[in-house]
């Protein structure tokens, strides 16, 4: 199992668009991906689960990846979070 801790760098938090990107990525791999914020857990393949976490700017989250392609899945998630989940408004990173 791979475990990593990330901070939400997006000023608007993990709202629908970045959550959808995370769901799309999670569905590309076979591993189980769990997002944990405090005592709440979410399946990264469910946008409703992710949105119920109510992740805001600078919140710390834990990501657990378990499965046959966990190395690839964890690497993809790291890249996504490093890119601040690709959020831009009017060409500017938010």
Would you please indicate which residues are annotated as catalytic (active-site) residues? 15
* Phi, psi for 26 (deg, rounded to 5): -60, -35
d(CA 65, CA 44): 10
CB 9 within 8 A of CB 69: no
């Amino acid at each position: 199992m791979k475990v990593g801790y990330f901070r939400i760098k997006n000023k608007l938090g993990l709202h629908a668009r970045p959550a959808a990107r995370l769901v799309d990525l999670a569905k590309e791999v076979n591993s189980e991906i769990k997002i944990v914020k405090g005592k709440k857990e979410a399946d990264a393949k469910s946008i409703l689960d992710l949105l119920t976490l109510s992740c805001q700017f600078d919140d710390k989250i834990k990501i657990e990846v378990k499965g046959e392609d966990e190395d690839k899945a964890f690497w993809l998630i790291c890249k996504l979070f490093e890119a601040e989940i690709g959020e831009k408004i009017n060409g500017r990173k938010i």
